[in-house]
Chain A
C-alpha cells in the first residue's frame, strides 16, 4: 500500500502541473505564432487574479463567474498590448518586442503593488474548500475543480486549433508567416486571436490557483518562468508538449520539495531547463 502522503503529493503535483500546462499552452501558442516569448503574460497573470479577487469581494460574484470575468480582463490586456505596443515595435525586431514585454510585466507588477499593496490577499472560496477524503488522500473539492476545468480547456483548445478557421490560420502562421500571408491569411486578426487565447489561458490558470495560494503583486514571476521552461521542455509550438511538460514539472517540483529540498524547490525548474537544453533542445514534442 503506497503511503498516503506520497499519493497526496502525487495529486498535488499533478494539479500544479495542470496549471503550469495551461499557462504554457498560452505561451507556446503566442510564441510560435507571433515569434515573441511574451513575458508580459506574467503581468496578465497578476492582474487577472486581482480582478477576480475584487469582483468576488466587492461585487459578491460567485467564484465560477469570477473566472470568466478575470479571463476577460486578461484577454483585453493582452490584445491591447498587442495592438498598442507590440504592433508598433515589430518592425524594430524581436529584441525590442521582448524588452517591451518585460517592461510591461514590470509595469503591471508595480501597478498592482501601488494600487493594492504588496501584502498578499487570500481568495477564499468556501464552496470549494470543503475537504475531501479520497482513498485516504486528504484533498479539497477545489483541486477537483481545477482538474475538471483544465481538462475541459485543453479539449477546447485542441478542438479550436484543429477544426476552426481561425485555429487553422494560427497553425498556418506558426508554420510560416510569409506563406500564410501570401495565401490570404489576415495575420493581424490571427495575432489578435492568439493573444486573446493566450491571455485567457494565463488568466484562468492564475484564478484557478489563487484560492490555493495567495494573490500578491509578485505572484507572476515564478509561474511565468516555469511556464517558459515548460514551453521549452514540451517543445516549441506543441500543445500536447506543454501539457505533458507541465505535468512533469509539477510532479518533479512537488516531490523534489519534499524529498530533496524545500528551500531550492524553485530550482528544479532550472535544472529541468538545463537538462532539456543540453539533452534534447527541441523538447519532447518540438517541431522546430
Chain B
C-alpha cells in the first residue's frame, strides 16, 4: 500500500505537476477575486469583502490553534478593539486612517501580550475558558461604555481610509480591493512565518508542549508570540472592517463572531493555514445561499459541523488530502 502511494506521488510530482503548476490554483483564484467587481454585483462584492475579513482573522487564528495548539475564543474581542479604537481615533480625534490603523493594531498587540502573558501559562481548557470570558467582558465594555463606543446606539460617521494619491477608497470596489490586497499580503507573511524555523518550533509545541519544554524551548514565550500574532491580525482586520462598513455596533462583535472564526477554522482544516481561508469562503457561501430559509439556516449549519467533526476532523483540507489530491 505504502509503496503504491509513494510511486503515485513521485509520478505526480514529476509528470503531471511541474512545480509551477502548483501555483496555478492560487493565481487563478487571485485573478478571479481581483476582477470580481467587474462582473459581480455589489452584493457579492460586499459578501466577498466580509468573507475575506473572516478569512484573515481565521488564518491568524490558525497560527494559534493549528500551529501552536492553543484553543482560544477571543478573536472577536481583538477584532472589535481594533475596529472601535480606529473609529474613535479617526472620528473623535480627527486622525487619518493611516495613522490610526497602526496604532490600533499595536494597541491590540499590547493588550493581547498583557493578557496572554499570564493566561498562556494555563493548560488548554483553562485557557480556553479564560478567553471565552475575556471575549464576553470586552463585549460588555463595547455595550456599556456608551460615551466611548456609542454602545447600542452605534458608532457612526466613520470615513473610508484617506486616499493614497489619486486612489480613493470610498467606493465599494476600492474598499474591497484594499481588503483583498491586505489579505494577500498578510496571508503571504503568515505563510512565511509558519514555514520558518519559528513555525517549526510552534509545531513542536502543538505536538507535545511538555516535551518541547524539556528540550529547552521556552514554550511560554512562543505561545505568547503566536497569541499576539493572531490578535494583531484580528485587530488589523477589525480596522479594515470599521472603515469599510462604517457603522460599528456591539452585536457585530458578540460571541457569534468568535464562534464563527473557530468554526471556519475547523471546517477548513486546522493547521493548514489555507484551510481556514477556504473555510471562510465555504461558510459564507453556504450561509448566504441559505438566506432564504432563515429558521433552518443555523441548524443545518450546526449539523454539518458535527458531521465534519465526527467524520473528518481535519476539515476540508483533510478531505482533500484523503482523496489524494496534491
Contacts and interface: CB of A to CB of B under 8 A. Distances in A.
Nearest to A104: B306
Given A266-B140, A270-B134, A106 B313 contact: no
B71 A98 contact: yes
Interface residues of A, number: 37
B118 A277 contact: yes
Contact of B118 (A94, A225, A278): A278
Contacts of B119: 277
B296 A89 contact: no
B76 interface: no
Given A267-B140, A269-B133, A95 B302 contact: no
A169 interface: no
Interface string B209-249: 00000000000000000000000000000000000000000
A263 B137 CA distance: 11
A47 to B, nearest CB: 14
B305 A229 contact: no
B262 A273 contact: no
A266 B125 CA distance: 20
Contacts, number: 96
A264 B305 contact: no
A102 B262 contact: yes
B140 A96 contact: no
A96 B311 CA distance: 12
Nearest to A267: B137
Given A95-B124, A266-B140, A37 B309 contact: no
A95 B295 CA distance: 30
Interface residues of B, number: 35
A88 B144 CA distance: 43
Contacts of A103: 263, 266, 302, 305-306, 309
A114 interface: yes
B110 to A, nearest CB: 18
B137 A111 contact: no
Nearest to B123: A281
6 contacts: A100-B306, A100-B310, A103-B266, A107-B302, A264-B144, A266-B136
Interface of B: 69, 71, 118-119, 122, 124-126, 128-130, 132-134, 136-137, 140, 144, 255, 259, 262-263, 266, 295-296, 298-299, 301-303, 305-306, 309-310, 313
Interface of A: 31, 37, 85, 88-89, 92, 94-96, 98-100, 102-104, 106-107, 110-111, 113-114, 221, 225, 228-229, 232, 263-264, 266-267, 269-270, 273-274, 277-278, 281
4 A-B pairs closest in CB distance:
A107-B302, A270-B133, A37-B125, A110-B298
Given A85-B310, A102-B262, 19 more contacts: A85-B306, A89-B313, A100-B306, A100-B310, A106-B259, A106-B263, A107-B306, A110-B301, A113-B299, A114-B296, A114-B299, A225-B129, A264-B144, A267-B137, A270-B133, A273-B129, A273-B130, A274-B130, A278-B118
